[in-house]
Chain A
Amino acid sequence: QSALTQPRSVSGSPGQSVTISCTGTSSATGGYNSVSWYQQHPGKAPKVIIYDVIKRPSGVPDRFSGSRSGNTASLTISGLQAEDEADYFCCSYAGMYTWVFGGGTKVTVL
Chain B
Amino acid sequence: EVQLVESGGGLIQPGGSLRLSCTTSAFPVSGDYMSWVRQAPGKGLEWVSMVYRGTTAYYADSVKGRFTASTDNSQTTIYLQMNNLRVDDTAVYYCARAPYCTGGSCYSRYYFDSWGQGTLVTVSS
Within 8 A of A (CB), among B68-120: 94, 96, 109-113, 115-118
For residue B45, which residues in chain A have a CB less than 8 angstroms away from its CB?
38, 46, 89, 91, 101, 104
- Residues of A in contact (CB 8 Å), total 25
Within 8 A of A (CB), among B2-49: 33, 35, 37, 43-47
- Report the contact-size class of chain B (Cβ under 8 Å from the partner): 20 to 34
Would you call B121 an interface residue if the criterion is a C-beta within 8 Å of the partner chain's C-beta atoms?
no
For residue A34, which residues in chain B have a CB less than 8 angstroms away from its CB?
109-111
Q: How far is the CA of A3 from the CA of B43 in the complex (A)?
A: 13
Q: How far is the CA of A32 from the CA of B110 in the complex (A)?
A: 10
Q: How far is the CA of A45 from the CA of B117 in the complex (A)?
A: 6
Q: Is the CB of B44 within 8 A of A89?
A: yes
Could you say which of A1, A3, A47 contacts B61, with CB atoms under 8 Å apart? A1
Q: Is the CB of B35 within 8 A of A99?
A: yes
For residue A96, which residues in chain B have a CB less than 8 angstroms away from its CB?
58
Nearest-neighbour CB distance to chain A for B69, whole angstroms, equals 11
Q: Is the CB of B94 within 8 A of A91?
A: no
Q: Is the CB of A47 within 8 A of B111?
A: no
Would you call B50 an interface residue if the criterion is a C-beta within 8 Å of the partner chain's C-beta atoms?
yes
Given known contacts A34-B110, A93-B110, is B47 in contact with A99 (CB within 8 Å)?
A: yes
Q: How far is the CA of A8 from the CA of B115 in the complex (A)?
A: 24
Q: Give chain A's interface residues, CB within 8 Å of chain B.
A: 1, 3, 32, 34, 36, 38, 45-48, 51-52, 57, 89, 91, 93, 96-104
Q: Give chain B's interface residues, CB within 8 Å of chain A.
A: 33, 35, 37, 43-47, 50, 52, 58, 60-61, 94, 96, 109-113, 115-118
